Structure 1
Amino acid sequence: MLILYDLKLKYKLFLVYLFCVFCPILIINLIFYRHMVTNVKAIQQNFYRQAAQRTISGIESELKTVTSLCNRISFDKTLYEMLDQEFPADLAYVETYYNYFLNYLFINGESYRQINKAVLYTDNDTILHSGSVFRIDERIKSEGWLEQVIEDPEKNHLLYGETYHKSDNSIITPLYVVKVLNIYKGLNRYLKLIRFNLNTERLINIVTAEKLKGGILVVDQQGKLLFADHKQAPDWQLEDYLRKHKGQLVTEEIPTFEWTLISLIDQQEISKALQEPRNNIIMLTTISLLVASVIIVLISHSFYDRLNSLSEHVNSLDQKDCQQYTGPQGNDEIGILIKAFNKMVVKIRSLIHDVYEAKLEQSRIKLEKKQAELNALQSQMNPHFLYNTLESIRMRSVEKGEKETAEMIKRLTRLFRRMSRFQQEWVTIEEEIGYIEDFLAIQQYRFGTEFQYTMEIEPAVLACKIPKLVIQPFVENACLHGIGGTDRVGRVGINLQLSGEKIFCTVQDNGIGISAEKLRCLWADMKAAESRETNIAIRNIYQRLSLYYGEDFSLVIDSTEEEGTTITLVIPVGGVECIKS
C-alpha cells in the first residue's frame, strides 16, 4: 500500500482506468465475440448437416427405388422360365427377345428415371447377344464383377465404374446394381442375373442441388471418391483431405450403402456471417472505451489541474507577495483543501503585516533619520567657501599659464553654482543646455581625444521652459554607462528641434548599448509603482514627465548591443511658458 502513496494522482487514475475500465471492457467483449463465433460456427455446421441429410435422403430414395425393383424382379417366375428356356433356333430367340425381353426390360428398367439401362445375363447357350440380354461368355467372366456377385448371390450388389469429371468440374462414378436371380430352385438350370445401370446424373444433381460453397463429397468405406460437386486434385486422398480440413468438415453416414457424405464448411461464409457482428462489437467497444476515456480524462483534469495550479501557486509565493489562490475551487475535497489554503494565506499575511513589515518600517525610519542627519551635516558647509577656493585655484592656474586647467575649473565652478541655483522646477532649455555643455567639456578634458561630443540646438527652442534635469541625466548616462565601457573613441550627440507644438530632443552615443532583456527590465522599472534601487534617474524623469504632461509626451529608447543607444524625447510646447528673448 505504501507504494501507492508515492504515485502521482494521474498515474493512479490511469491504473484505475486500465484495470477497472479498459481491461474489463476488452475482456468481456472478447469473450462475447468468442461465444458468438462458436454460435455462428454451430449454426453453419447445423446448416451443412441439414443440407447433408437432405442430400442423403435424395440419394437413398434413388437407390432404394432400384434395389426394390431388383427384389421385385427376382420374384418374377415368368422371367425365370424365359431365361431357362432352350431355343431350338436363333429365330425363335429373336422373336422371344422382341416380343418379351425388350418390352419387359423397358417396363421394369429404363422406364424408371433412376435407371439408364437394364441388362439380363445368363449362361444359356441358346440365347444370343442382343442389346439388353447377354450370354455369359469368357469376356464377361474376365471383367471381375461377375465373380464378386456369384460369391454372395443373396444380396443386391452395388458396383462402381470408372470415375470421371464433368464439364462443370463435378465428379461422377457410374453405379450398377446387380442381383442374381435364384429364388426358384426348380428354375435354376442356368445362371441368371439382372443389372441396372443407374442414372448417376440424377445423383450428382442431388449432390450439387444444395450449392454449398464449401463442397460436398461422397466416399465409400474404402475412401474412394464417388461423387463431388467440386473438382479435386488427381492425387486426392481421403486421409490428406480430412487432415487438411480438420475442424471444417461435417460428416454424415449413409449406412444402407456404407457410404459417407462429407461437407466442407466454407470459412468465407463464416467470416461473412461474423463481419457485421464483429463490426458492431468493435464499434461498441470503441464507443465504450471512448466514453470511459473522456469521463476519466474529465475527472482527472478536475483533480489534476486544480492540484497542479495550486502547487504552482504555492511554489511562486514569497514573503513579499503572499496572495490567495484565485483559480477554480469547487466543493469537493480539493476545493476544501484550496479554501483551507486561502485561510492559511490570510493568517500568514496578517502575521507578516504584524511582525515582518513592522520591523521593516522601523528599519526604514532609522535609515531616513540617518540620511536626514547626513544631509543636515552637508548643508552646514558654506558653499561660498567652495566657490572662493575654486576661484583661487583658477587664478593661480592663470598666473602659471595653465589656461586649459583654469578653463575647466571655471566650468566646474559654474556647474556647482548652477546646481545650487536650480531651486525652481521649470528652467529654460538654454539653462539646461548650459549645464550640459559644462558637463561635456569637463568629460572631454578628462578623456582627451578618447571622447568627442556634438550639439545641434535650434535657436527657437532655447527660450522654451521644461522641467529641470530632464535631458542632463540621459547625457550623463551616455557618458558614464554608454561609452565608458568601450575601447573605441566615444561620441555623444545632442539634437534639439522645434516642430509645430512639439520639442524633439535626441541623445545618441556609440557605446556598448543595452541588451533586449535589460531594456525590458528598464521599462519595467520606469513604470513600476514602487521605488527601486536601480535606474533611479531615468525612472525619476519618466515619473516627473508623466506628472506634468500625462499621456502627451513620448520617450523612446532604441539600443543595439556593441553599436550604441539613441534616446528620443518628445514633449509638448503647449501649456509650457516660452520666454521671448
Structure 2
Amino acid sequence: MDKMKVFNFNNIGLRQKLLIIYIFAVFIPITLTHIVFYQVTSNNVRTQKMNDISLTVKKMSNDFLIAIEDAVGISSMLYTDYELYNFLETKYESTTDYIHAYHDYYDNISKEVPLYSPVHSINLYTNNETVIYAGGIKQIDTLVKDSEWYKDSELVRNSYPVLTRRIGESGKLDTFSLIRELDNYVTIDSTQKILEIKLDLRLMYNLFNDVTFPGDIYLLNGQGMIEYTTNPKVNWAEGNIKYPSVKLPDDHVVFEESFNLKYLNNWKVVGVAQEHVLLEEVESSRNFILYLALINLIFPSLFIIYITSSLHFRILRILKHMRKVEDQHFELIEGARHGDEIGELTQAFNRMASKIKKLINEVYIADIQKKNLELQRKQAQLSALQSQINPHFLFNVLETIRMRSILKKEDETAKIIHNIASMLRKSFIWGKDWVKVEEEIYLIKCFLEIQYYRFDDKMQYHIDVDPDAYNCLIPNMSLIPFVENASIHGIEPIKGKGMINISIKSNRDHLICEITDTGQGMDKEEYERLLQSLEEAEDIGEHVGIKNVYCRLKLHYEDNFEFSITSTKGAGTTISIILPCIR
C-alpha cells in the first residue's frame, strides 16, 4: 500500500508560490483591515445619525410643548379673571349695555391674542341669553352640545384644559383647539361658560415638517389615535385613525418622545424613518472605503503581477529550450544578459548547449555521414538489381500475345489479356494515392471480366454507379480488394451460381459504396475474429486485403468515414463504406 504523499512546499510551482505569498501577505490583510475599518466607521456614523435624528424629534416635541403651554397659560389667565366671569354672568337689560361691556372688556383680550404666536383666536361659549352671540361670543346650544369636541372634553375640561380637534372651515377635523370650563367663580345662578383657544392653522405644519428629519412624524393622543402626521398617505383630517393600522416600511426605525402632563397625558411624538435612508452617509463612506481598498489592491497587484510575469516568462523560456535539447535541438536563448540568478542560469544553459552541439558535430555527425554513405551504396545495388527485372518487359510480352490473338480471331482471349495487362500496370504504379471512382470502376470491370472468363456463367455481376459519383476521388484500389474477396472467398467455393452487386451512390457530401455477394458468407466465429482484428490492427492471413484497405481509409479519413461488414453463413456478405465526397 502506497504511503500518503506528504505536502511539500517545494513541489509547488514558482507562480503558485508567489500567488500564495500575495494572498496571505497582501490581499487578505488589506481586505480584513478595510472590512474592520468599514464596520467601525459604519457603526460610528449610524450612531451619530441616530443621535441627530433623536435630537430632531426631541426638538419638535419641545416646540410643540411650548406652543401648547402658551395656550394653556392664556387659558389659566382667563380662568382666574374675575372680570371675564362678571362679563359673562351679567344679565343685561338692553343691547346697549351689553355692547358697552363687550367693548370695555373683550376688546382688551382681542388685543392680547396676537402676542401669542400659537393662538389664532379665542371663543367664549355661554348659555347667558342676555348677551349677543357675535364677535367671539357663542351660544351653548344643542348643536354645540352634540359636537365631538364638546363631548370629548366634557369629563375633564372642568379640571384642566383639553387639547382636541374640531371641524374647521374646510369641513374636516383639521383645527386644533384648547378647551377649558370656566368654573373658578361659581354661584347659584352661574351660567355655563366654556373657553376655546383656537390654535394657528399652520402651527402643526410649522412644528413637525422639519426638513432635517428623513421620514414621517406622527402626533398621537393618549388612546394611540393619530392627531396629526406628515405622512401624505394618511388622511389624518378625515377622522380617528389608529397608529397601529398604518403600514410602516420593513426597515423602519422609530423615535418616540412622550408627554406626561395632565392636558397631554400619554401623548407622543413619533418619528418613523427608513434605515437605508439613515445610512446614506454610511453608504457614501462605504464607497470611499471601497475605492480606497481597490487602490490599495490594484497597484500592489499590478506590481506583483509584473514581477511574477517576468520571472515566470524567463523560467518558462529556459524550460522550453531544455525540452528542445531532448529532441536534439540545441538552440541558444537569445536576449539581454541579466545579473540575477535566472540570468546566470540562462548563461549556463547557453554554454552547455554550445558544448553539446559542438561535441555532436565532431563525433556523431561524422558517424552518421559514414552510415549514410553505406546506405546509399546498398540502395544503388538494390536499384541496379531491380532494373534487371523491368515490368515493361512483361507488358510488352502481354501486348505481343494479345496482338497475335487478335490476328488469329481469338477476340475473347485478347480482351482477357488486355484486362490482365491493365491490372498489372495498375498494381505496379503506387505513386498515385487518389483516383477517380471512374478509374476504380474500370479496374473492377477488368477483374470481373477475367473472373467471368474463368468461371463462365457461374459468377455474374452488376455495377450501378450514380453519374455524379464518377468524378469523386477515393483512395487508390480501395474497392477492388473487397470485389476480389467476394469473388475468390465468396462465389468460388459454392457449387451453384453467384452474384456480385456493386452500388455507388452520391448523397451530396458523401459516397455510399456497397459490395454484396451471394457467396458462402462467414460463420459467427470467423466474422467476429475479422471485426476484432480490424480494431486491434493485426493481419489475419487470407483477409490481409481487407485489413490493408481499412488501414489506408483510417490514414486518409481518420474518423470521418463509416465501415461495416454484415455476413450470414450460406447467404453471403455485404461490405458498406461511407466516405466524404471529394470532387
After TM superposition, the score normalised by the length of structure 2 is 0.53
Structure 2 equivalent of residue 79 of structure 1: 84
Structure 2 equivalent of residue 66 of structure 1: 71
Structure 2 equivalent of residue 304 of structure 1: 312
Maintained 8 Å contact 1:70/1:156: yes
Shift of 1:127: 4.5
Q: Deviations over 1:257-277 (max 9, x none)?
A: 343333344678657646654
Maintained 8 Å contact 1:45/1:250: no
Structure 2 equivalent of residue 119 of structure 1: 123
SS of the residue corresponding to residue 12 of structure 1 reads helix
Cα distance in 2, alignment partners of residues 483 and 292 from structure 1: 70
Structure 1 equivalent of residue 158 of structure 2: 153
* CA 1:175–1:142: 2 relative to 1, 3 Å: same
Structure 2 stretches of 5 or more lacking a match?
1-5, 382-386, 399-427, 436-474, 476-583
2:289 is the counterpart of 1:285: no
Q: Deviations over 1:33-67 (max 9, x none)?
A: 44444444445434434443443343233222211
Cα distance in 2, alignment partners of residues 371 and 231 from structure 1: 107
Question: Aligned partner of 1:229: which letter?
Answer: T
Structure 2 equivalent of residue 94 of structure 1: 98
Structure 2 equivalent of residue 45 of structure 1: 50
Shift of 1:175: 1.4
Maintained 8 Å contact 1:93/1:128: no
Cα distance in 2, alignment partners of residues 484 and 74 from structure 1: 134
Maintained 8 Å contact 2:168/2:174: yes
Question: Aligned partner of 1:67: which letter?
Answer: V
Structure 2 equivalent of residue 436 of structure 1: none
SS of the residue corresponding to residue 158 of structure 1 reads strand
Maintained 8 Å contact 1:51/1:210: no
SS of the residue corresponding to residue 65 of structure 2 reads helix
Structure 2 equivalent of residue 222 of structure 1: 223
Cα distance in 2, alignment partners of residues 163 and 10 from structure 1: 82
Question: Aligned partner of 2:180: which letter?
Answer: K
Paired-residue identity, %: 19
Q: Deviations over 1:123-159 (max 9, x none)?
A: 5455454443344444433436357445462322212
Structure 2 equivalent of residue 195 of structure 1: 196
Maintained 8 Å contact 2:118/2:200: yes
SS of the residue corresponding to residue 200 of structure 1 reads coil
SS of the residue corresponding to residue 215 of structure 2 reads coil
Structure 2 equivalent of residue 262 of structure 1: 270
Structure 1 equivalent of residue 180 of structure 2: 179
Cα distance in 2, alignment partners of residues 7 and 485 from structure 1: 54
Q: Which has the larger displacement, 114-123 or 232-241?
A: 232-241
* CA 1:143–1:269: 2 relative to 1, 3 Å: closer
SS of the residue corresponding to residue 320 of structure 2 reads helix
Shift of 1:68: 0.8
Max Rg structure? 1
Cα distance in 1, alignment partners of residues 10 and 329 from structure 2: 32
Question: Aligned partner of 1:14: which letter?
Answer: L
Q: Deviations over 1:504-556 (max 9, x none)?
A: xxxxxxxx9xxxxxxxxxxxxxxxxxxxxxxxxxxxxxxxxxxxxxxxxxxxx
Cα distance in 2, alignment partners of residues 370 and 74 from structure 1: 140
After TM superposition, the score normalised by the length of structure 1 is 0.53
Structure 2 equivalent of residue 456 of structure 1: none
Q: Deviations over 1:278-297 (max 9, x none)?
A: 54444333333322332222
Cα distance in 2, alignment partners of residues 16 and 239 from structure 1: 58
Cα distance in 2, alignment partners of residues 312 and 147 from structure 1: 98
Cα distance in 2, alignment partners of residues 143 and 227 from structure 1: 20
Q: Deviations over 1:159-202 (max 9, x none)?
A: 22259999xxxx97321112233334669834433221111323
Structure 1 equivalent of residue 431 of structure 2: 485
Shift of 1:77: 1.6
Maintained 8 Å contact 2:251/2:276: no
Shift of 1:314: 1.8
* CA 1:345–1:165: 2 relative to 1, 3 Å: farther
Structure 1 stretches of 5 or more lacking a match?
379-438, 451-481, 489-511, 513-581
Structure 2 equivalent of residue 15 of structure 1: 20
Q: Which has the larger displacement, 321-330 or 362-371?
A: 362-371
SS of the residue corresponding to residue 119 of structure 1 reads strand
Maintained 8 Å contact 2:318/2:333: yes
* CA 1:97–1:164: 2 relative to 1, 3 Å: closer
Cα distance in 1, alignment partners of residues 203 and 60 from structure 2: 12
Cα distance in 1, alignment partners of residues 158 and 260 from structure 2: 21
Cα distance in 1, alignment partners of residues 145 and 317 from structure 2: 106
Structure 2 equivalent of residue 244 of structure 1: 249
Maintained 8 Å contact 1:149/1:178: no
Shift of 1:254: 4.8
Question: Aligned partner of 1:485: which letter?
Answer: G
Superposed, which structure 2 residues align to 1:79-478 within 5 Å?
79-87=84-92, 89-91=93-95, 94-95=98-99, 98-100=102-104, 102-109=106-113, 112-124=116-128, 126-127=130-131, 129-143=133-147, 145=150, 148-151=153-156, 153-162=158-167, 173-184=174-185, 189-208=190-209, 210=211, 212=213, 214-234=215-235, 237-239=242-244, 241=246, 243-244=248-249, 246-256=251-261, 257=264, 258-265=266-273, 273=281, 277-318=285-326, 330-335=338-343, 337-338=345-346
* CA 1:325–1:449: 2 relative to 1, 3 Å: farther
Structure 2 equivalent of residue 498 of structure 1: none
* CA 1:322–1:92: 2 relative to 1, 3 Å: closer
Cα distance in 2, alignment partners of residues 366 and 84 from structure 1: 149
Cα distance in 2, alignment partners of residues 366 and 198 from structure 1: 124
Q: Deviations over 1:58-86 (max 9, x none)?
A: 32332222111111112212222233333
Maintained 8 Å contact 1:122/1:191: yes
Maintained 8 Å contact 2:252/2:273: no
Question: Aligned partner of 2:120: which letter?
Answer: N
* CA 1:296–1:236: 2 relative to 1, 3 Å: farther
Cα distance in 1, alignment partners of residues 312 and 196 from structure 2: 93
Cα distance in 2, alignment partners of residues 147 and 319 from structure 1: 107
Maintained 8 Å contact 1:48/1:265: no
Cα distance in 2, alignment partners of residues 118 and 134 from structure 1: 11
Cα distance in 2, alignment partners of residues 359 and 31 from structure 1: 69
Cα distance in 1, alignment partners of residues 372 and 186 from structure 2: 153
Cα distance in 2, alignment partners of residues 113 and 325 from structure 1: 95
Cα distance in 1, alignment partners of residues 44 and 296 from structure 2: 24
Cα distance in 2, alignment partners of residues 367 and 85 from structure 1: 151
Cα distance in 1, alignment partners of residues 20 and 32 from structure 2: 16
Cα distance in 1, alignment partners of residues 365 and 145 from structure 2: 136
Q: Deviations over 1:392-429 (max 9, x none)?
A: xxxxxxxxxxxxxxxxxxxxxxxxxxxxxxxxxxxxxx
Cα distance in 2, alignment partners of residues 5 and 150 from structure 1: 92
SS of the residue corresponding to residue 325 of structure 2 reads coil
Maintained 8 Å contact 1:177/1:196: yes
* CA 1:365–1:268: 2 relative to 1, 3 Å: closer
Shift of 1:122: 3.6
Cα distance in 2, alignment partners of residues 448 and 327 from structure 1: 67
Cα distance in 2, alignment partners of residues 449 and 214 from structure 1: 116
Structure 2 equivalent of residue 569 of structure 1: none
Cα distance in 2, alignment partners of residues 59 and 2 from structure 1: 74
